[in-house]
Amino acid sequence: MKSDLIIAYRLLRKKFKSGIFSTEFYSAFSYVEEKAFFKNLIFGVLRYQDYLDWIINSFLKNKEIPPSIRTILRMGTFQILFTNKPNYLIVNEMVDLVEKKSFKGLVNAVLRKISKIGYIEPKEIHLKFSHPKWLVEYWKSFLPIDYIIKMLELNQKPLKTTARVNIKKIERDNIKISNSSFTSHSPVGIVFEKIEKNPWEFEEYKKGLITYQSESSQIIPLLVDFKKDEYVLDACAAPGGKATHILELQDVNLYVNDIEKERIKILEEQFKRLNLKPKKILNYDAQKIKLNDFFDKIFVDVPCSSLGTARRNPEVLRRQSKENFQKLSKIQQKIISNLWKNLKKHGLMVYSTCTVTIEENKNTVNQLKSLGEFLDIRNQLEQFGIKYIWDGYGALFYPDETLTPFYVSIIRKIKE
């Protein structure tokens, strides 16, 4: 157990210094002994960071403590308040992690006080659900309070794994995987109650019968009708969820593009695993790509602030800023403006993000209002049982147990 705590400490220190660490996490995860405890500790500290700091700070005269000590206190406080592990053992283990003797007494004293008092219910909504205060206030400026509360509540819960069934090979009704059931909204999705082995080792995955993909993402290609042999571009395609889904739905001439060479390799592997063949695989910046072809449909799942992925990536909440929302919106506007030139007249651009900002959603697509017609997709979403916020340009999905916040806007080209 001690070695697991050391790995967790080092990983959390790395995260708080440099941001997202999914690759490092899964690498570290393969070495730990108590995997369930380790995963719960890492993601628990990330999910409850604002609340943990609030508790810790109430016992500190000087709030400016070294990041290493802050990390140890977060780890200890989370275990005391949210696990059944004996408090005395937690305190001793955390003190042992402290390298500087001058701080051992501080860690010992703070954690002992917290163990005596226990959980305290804060009044402020951002502390109750442990989100950055500025972000909650920002959401209040354009979202209804019921949406915000639902999102905050669900962000404290791990997201169950979902997968898409390859209907080219098998009907969903014929998929028999233990601990799985049908998704509530996607007609081609399944959700796992728990996964007790490496998900990449499932025979159904190896044989191309399923593809791991969020339920929200599964919905996007289902909102349009594809005709055989029409030309379709997925401009920001990696890791390939929507692109492979499109070819499972219809035999189209699919062009896929992504800016990162490493992610292109992932795309190629997915097409090979599913025995699907795109017409072309491209490796360009979508802001600058120049194509000679014209397309009936262009899918643009743009790079975004990814706030809708917080259930799976809780650290995303603390590495964003309003300035970054503006920066990303400018990139998104350049992408759709550049690709608009290659969309046929009356063709469809399908714009989507996995974030919850007005800059990257409504404010990005409304630049096309003089050039296109925004399709009203509300009836389609209701047929899938999806609750949404409609802003006149697109829809923001309400989150639930398996559906994550996702924005989609579909624009029919009227003018160049």
Confidence of residue 366 (pLDDT cuts 50, 70, 90): very high
Set 46, 72, 317, 354: catalytic member: 354
Q: What is the dihedral of CA 52, 55, 56, 58, to 10 degrees?
A: 160
Query: What is residue 371's predicted lDDT score, i.e. its pLDDT?
Result: 94
Q: Are the C-beta atoms of residues 145 and 136 closer than 8 Å to each other?
A: no
State yes or no: pLDDT of 360 exceeds 90. Answer: yes
Token digits of residue 109: 């004293």
What is the residue type of 99?
A: E
Flag whether 304 is marked binding. Answer: no
189 is in an annotated binding site: no
Q: Cα angle at 9 between 7 and 12, to 5 degrees?
A: 105
Those residues with Cβ within 8 angstroms of residue 182's Cβ, 6 or more apart along the chain or in another chain: 172, 189, 190, 191
**In one letter, which amino acid is 224?**
V
CA–CA dist 158, 176 (Å, integer): 24
The answer to whether residue 27 scores a pLDDT higher than 80 is no
Provide DSSP, 50-69.
HHHHHHHHTT-S-----HHH
pLDDT greater than 70 at residue 20: no
Residues 6 or more apart in contact with residue 128 via CB below 8 angstroms: 51, 121, 122, 152
Confidence bin at 17 (pLDDT 50/70/90): low
Average pLDDT over every residue of 284-293: 94
Evaluate if residue 19 carries a pLDDT over 70: no
The question of whether 304 is a catalytic residue gets the answer no
158 upstream amide cis, omega within 30 of 0: no
Question: Does 13 have pLDDT greater than 80?
Answer: yes
Query: Is the model's pTM score more than 0.75?
Result: yes
Cα(74)–Cα(71) distance, rounded to whole angstroms? 5
Domain 216-413, classified CATH 1.10.287.90, yes or no: no
pLDDT single digits (tens) 370-401: 999 999 999 999 999 999 999 999 999 999 99
Asked whether residue 163 is marked as a ligand-binding residue, the answer is no
For residue range 295-341, list pLDDT tens digits in order. Answer: 999 999 999 999 999 999 898 999 899 999 999 999 999 999 999 99
Mean pLDDT over residues 278-295, rounded? Answer: 95
CATH of range 2-120; options 3.40.50.150, 2.40.50.100, 3.30.1330.10, 1.10.940.10:
1.10.940.10
Q: Which of 256, 170, 173, 178 is closest to 211 using CA atoms?
A: 170
User: Annotation-wise, does 242 bind a ligand?
Assistant: yes
pLDDT > 70? residue 15: no
Is the distance from CB of 57 to CB of 63 less than 8 angstroms?
yes
238 is in an annotated binding site: yes
Task: Specify the amino acid at residue 44.
Answer: G
Q: What mean pLDDT comes out for the span 137-166?
A: 97
Q: 219 or 102, which is more confident?
A: 219
251 is known to lie in a ligand binding site: no
Domain ranges of the chain: 2-120, 216-413
Give the model confidence (pLDDT) of 41-68 as tens digits.
Answer: 999 999 999 999 999 999 998 889 999 9
Average pLDDT rounded to a whole number, residues 177-196: 93
Ramachandran angles phi, psi of 27, nearest 5°: -65, -45
